[in-house]
Amino acid sequence: MVEQVPLFLAPMSGVTDVAYRLLAREAGADFTSTEFTAASGLSRHDARSWAKVETHSRESPFIPQIFGGIEDEMVETTRLLSKNADIIDLNFGCPAPKVTKTCAGAAMMGDPDNLVSMVERCIEASEVPISVKMRLGTGQANITVLEIAERCAQLGVLRICVHGRTLSQKYRGVADWDLIRQVVEITEQYNTPVIANGDVVDAKSAARCLEVTGAAGLMIGRGAIGDPCIFGRIKSELGWEEFEAPWGDGNEAVQKHWAWNRYVELVDEIGGPHAARNMKQHAISFTKGLPGGRELRPHLHAIKDFRLLGEPLNLAFEAYSSRTHNTLAYPDAISLAESLKNIEFNRK
């Protein structure tokens, strides 16, 4: 049996809003963090940036993730956030050109001295522990993760998460779990836990990733989009702790139905202008991989007021998960979606 380790919901911009993070925890994730947020905005007290690092009293520990290429901005942001955060995560993994062109995110992997100096100063400025999330390097010819991870461990970071791809790979190819194993070995002497990330999509790949890497934890990103119950399933299928699944012992459709309803409830509970900002994206994601999802999606897309999406999707799930229909494209759900599509979004 594979020994139990903590499971992390990967930070994902446009996905891991507060409600989704709470949902993932209820569904079995042990740790969650915010999507990456620009230190340039946070250090200038920009309201939109601060909205991205909102949390909830049930999210403990609270781990905001920040990125930036300017050391002073990262240090100032760390100082500001450390008043409320439990841990602050520094992002050295984002491959998006709008981030890397400012020498932030994964581009920092090409400049180990700069990265290490940034981490050192953030640790000094912070009242709470600092963790780091990184890629393998900027490209196959420039694998810097071993040097950088060891130097970060020496500085005393709380943990190191490694996504087993390079910047130039973006999301292509397969994650290199063997290299993550080398990171685990090199940082062992400092007792720094390494969290393995990349291509874990079910219990089988979770077990395999742990066998290959020997990591102290697993982080799951794309596998948790539209399927937050993946965390509970991994725990149950690997015979880990008694995880009491809030969805009972139902199949994938029942799990998604439970998760969608619970997400809508959490968005309502959190309230405020930002809580529902990713709702349409989530609604679409929840239908992926299920029969009739492809037919239902355009009708969901057409609904302008995303707060109305709950009803047709719920109806579709109800019909499908209770097996009265063998497809999500349930005609009543489609007509309901059609009747809602022209209602304008009214912020009040």
Ligand X SMILES: Cc1cc2nc3c(=O)[nH]c(=O)nc-3n(C[C@H](O)[C@H](O)[C@H](O)COP(=O)(O)O)c2cc1C
Structure tokens at 324: 């009265």
To ligand X, the closest distance from the beta carbon of 55 in angstroms equals: 15
Query: d(Cα 65, Cα 84) in Å, to the nearest integer?
Result: 13
Query: d(Cα 196, Cα 212) in Å, to the nearest integer?
Result: 10
Pairing of strands 130-134, 88-92: parallel
* Candidate residues 32, 91, 144, 255; the one interacting with ligand X per rule CB under 6 A: 91
Q: Which stretch binds ligand X (CB under 6 A): 139-147, 182-190, 215-223, 274-282?
A: 215-223
Pairing of strands 160-163, 142-143: unpaired
Q: What letter represents residue 76's amino acid?
A: E
For ligand X, give the closer residue by CB, 69 or 198.
Answer: 198
* Candidate residues 5, 7, 12, 333; the one interacting with ligand X per rule CB under 6 A: 12
Nearest to 289 by CA among 323, 334, 251: 251
End-to-end CA distance of the chain: 53
To ligand X, the closest distance from the beta carbon of 97 in angstroms equals: 14
Query: d(Cα 269, Cα 253) in Å, to the nearest integer?
Result: 24
Q: Which stretch binds ligand X (CB under 6 A): 195-203, 292-300, 303-311, 318-326?
A: 195-203
* Candidate residues 69, 193, 198, 312; the one interacting with ligand X per rule CB under 6 A: 198
136 and 108 Cβ atoms separated by less than 8 Å: no
Residues 161, 164, 165, 167, Cα dihedral to 10°: 20
For ligand X, give the closer residue by CB, 49 or 65.
Answer: 65
Q: Which stretch binds ligand X (CB under 6 A): 7-15, 74-82, 250-258, 265-273?
A: 7-15
DSSP 227-276: -TTHHHHHHHHTT-S----TTTT--HHHHHHHHHHHHHHHHHHH-TTTTT
String of contacts with ligand X for each residue 218-237, x by CB under 6 A:
--xxxx--------------
Q: Residue with CB nearest ligand X?
A: 221
Q: Could you tell me the CA-to-CA distances from 20 to 30, 31, 36, 181 in Å, in that order? A: 13, 12, 15, 30
To ligand X, the closest distance from the beta carbon of 175 in angstroms equals: 6
Task: State which of positions 272-331 bind ligand X (CB under 6 A).
Answer: none
Per annotation, catalytic residue among 94, 161, 209, 229: 94
Does position 21 interact with ligand X (CB under 6 A)? The reply is no
To ligand X, the closest distance from the beta carbon of 248 in angstroms equals: 26
Pairing of strands 65-67, 194-197: unpaired
Largest CA distance in the chain: 62
To ligand X, the closest distance from the beta carbon of 185 in angstroms equals: 21
Does position 10 interact with ligand X (CB under 6 A)? The reply is yes
Active site residue 103: no
Q: Could you tell me the CA-to-CA distances from 94 to 29, 143, 146, 158 in Å, in that order? A: 22, 16, 18, 20
Q: How many residues bind ligand X (CB under 6 A)?
A: 22
For ligand X, give the closer residue by CB, 19 or 333.
Answer: 19
* Candidate residues 11, 41, 69, 312; the one interacting with ligand X per rule CB under 6 A: 11
Q: Which stretch binds ligand X (CB under 6 A): 13-21, 41-49, 56-64, 243-251?
A: 13-21
Does position 35 interact with ligand X (CB under 6 A)? The reply is yes
For ligand X, give the closer residue by CB, 134 or 336.
Answer: 134
String of contacts with ligand X for each residue 131-160, x by CB under 6 A:
--x---------------------------
Q: Could you tell me the CA-to-CA distances from 24 to 98, 113, 148, 245, 267 in Å, in that order? A: 28, 36, 30, 12, 13
* Candidate residues 5, 7, 15, 313; the one interacting with ligand X per rule CB under 6 A: 15
**Residues interacting with ligand X, by CB under 6 A?**
10-15, 35-36, 65, 91, 93-94, 133, 163, 197-200, 220-223
Which residues are part of the catalytic machinery?
A: 94
